[in-house]
Amino acid sequence: MNGFGGLLRAEWVKLRSVNRWVIALFGAAVLTIGISLLGATASDTDANAKPNFVVGPHNDPVADGFSYVHQPVTGDVTLTLKVGSLSPQEEPSRRSGPNGDMEKLDDPSPWNAASAGIMLKDGATSGASYAAVFVNSEHGVRLQSDFRTDIAGKAAQAPQWLRLTRTGNVVSAYQSADGSTWEKIGEVTPVHLPATAEIGFYVSSSPTLYVSRGAGGSSVGAHLTRSTATFDDIALTGATPGQWQTDAVKQPGAEEIRIKEGAPQITGFSESGGTYTVIGAGRIGPQDPGDDPVEASLLGVIAGIMALIAVGVLYATSEYRRGMIRTTFAAEPRRGRVLAAKTLVLGGTAFVLSLVGVVAGYLIARPALRKSGFAPPAFPDESITDPVVIRVLLLSAAFMALLAVFAMAVGILLRHSAGAITLTIVLVILPIIVGSILPGTLPRLLMYTTLAGGMATQRAKPPTLTLAEPWALIGPWAGIGVVAAYTAVALGLAWWSLRRRDV
């Protein structure tokens, strides 16, 4: 064999010398491309035609709704105040929906929950550039800007003194527990703050999301909430104090939801003895749709996997069926080395061809999806050179290659082609079917413990409960980790079997 290199060459010759295996390997790439394109042409969305979002200063979809007490200021300015109290509206853990009970969706993002603080903004219009320092009911004091930048201050709650200072284009934020000793939180540079901007204090209160999953679908509903905050010790320096104005910066559709639900007025403002009481509703932050165009452009991965599973099993079982395994072990008695060579040859070949398939599938399917509505501003116009897209393509190809190796290991264990192919396909497909039917978060456990979790490698967006596909509940690294663990265990059992069993 001339060492391990010769063993690798021998296994490569075996793989490429069987025409139907070569056809199946290339067929996996072709299926990945073809089914991806077919799925893209059959998909459509009206997310841009009927937006429930506004476009932020970075030209992406954002939520921007709150109660704002403000006045215009020009040039450098500082506003200091005390957030005396912040009372968020309590929401039940479950609500009734059109298809049964819906569970409250707890979102740990610092862009959610109730907030009260100071904001400097390019006018009082939804989606305009801004900087804000505030107390959040769940995440303490934060400095945020332009729906993207988030800087954490101390994990303190009201009462809390806050200060926002503008110097040129830079906005700095401070916090204090007593109004005397101040700590700097950080500084930001909003995309567009004109010389004359609006400064003031505000209250927001994120809608509570309720979700119902199962029976092959998902349903999401938003329930408006109101929060109340008090402000005092207000001091505006660097500008001539003027009359405070009150506005409700509204998210598209918020008023229609309020009327439909029969909810009371969601904003309010009053002043007594220098203390201002403000009632606010709405959310300030990024608002990406849950649908993932990158994932949608790789629908053909599941078809490519089926072809690779067949090749992986036959690559192992055919030697037993034809008796060639005896010749292999006679030439190389160390069976672990044979298994290692098979793994490297099959895994490497499957990865390269799978990578060709997913890259070509993405390049062909993504433009079709753009024509079908998966385009800005609702969806990002990502490029194949973006780090997140590169990660998706590499992990998806690795997922496909690992399944081919796993199938080979199953073939060595069972030594029966039809049984090994069927078992491997069932181990991938059955959890997907069951996970689509199970309610709530039960599918998450299934994705963390089965090969189906590898489907999460196709997602460019973070995990979410709002989609029907169960693998959307976990992250891509967790998904590939599960598949790698299964493959490692299968290879370990195959190695044990080769050493313990006669040919």
Which CATH class, in words, describes the domain spanning 63-286? mainly beta
Tell me how long the chain is: 503
In this prediction, residue 100 carries a pLDDT of 67
In this prediction, residue 411 carries a pLDDT of 94
Tell me the C-alpha distance between 223 and 208, whole Å. Answer: 5
In this prediction, residue 40 carries a pLDDT of 92
In this prediction, residue 142 carries a pLDDT of 97
> Domain extents for the chain?
3-45+291-500, 63-286
Phi, psi (rounded to 5 degrees) for 282:
115, 170
Cβ pair 96, 106 in contact under 8 A = no
Tell me the C-alpha distance between 191 and 196, whole Å. Answer: 15
Helices (H), 323-416: 324-331, 335-371, 387-414
Q: Which helix (H) or strand (E) holds 313?
A: helix 301-322
Going residue by residue through the chain, which has 503 residues, state the pLDDT in tens, using 9 for 90 and above: 467 888 889 889 889 988 999 999 999 999 999 999 999 999 888 888 888 889 999 999 999 999 999 999 999 999 999 999 999 988 887 787 666 677 887 778 899 999 999 999 999 999 999 999 999 999 999 999 999 999 999 999 999 999 999 999 999 999 999 999 999 999 999 999 999 999 999 999 998 888 887 766 777 777 888 999 999 999 999 988 888 999 889 877 655 555 445 555 567 889 998 999 999 999 999 988 888 999 999 999 999 999 999 999 999 998 887 777 777 776 777 888 889 999 999 999 999 999 999 999 999 999 999 999 999 988 988 999 999 999 999 999 999 999 999 999 999 999 999 999 999 999 999 999 998 888 777 899 999 999 999 999 999 998 988 888 899 999 999 999 999 999 999 999 999 988 887 65
**What tokens appear for 379 in the block?**
């969806």
Q: Which helix (H) or strand (E) holds 484?
A: helix 476-500
Give the side-chain half-sphere CA count within 13 A for 209: 16
- From 330, 390, 401, select the one nearest 28 (Cα to Cα): 401
In this prediction, residue 413 carries a pLDDT of 93
**354: number of Cβ within 10 Å:** 28
In this prediction, residue 263 carries a pLDDT of 52
Tell me the C-alpha distance between 230 and 279, whole Å. Answer: 9
In this prediction, residue 255 carries a pLDDT of 53
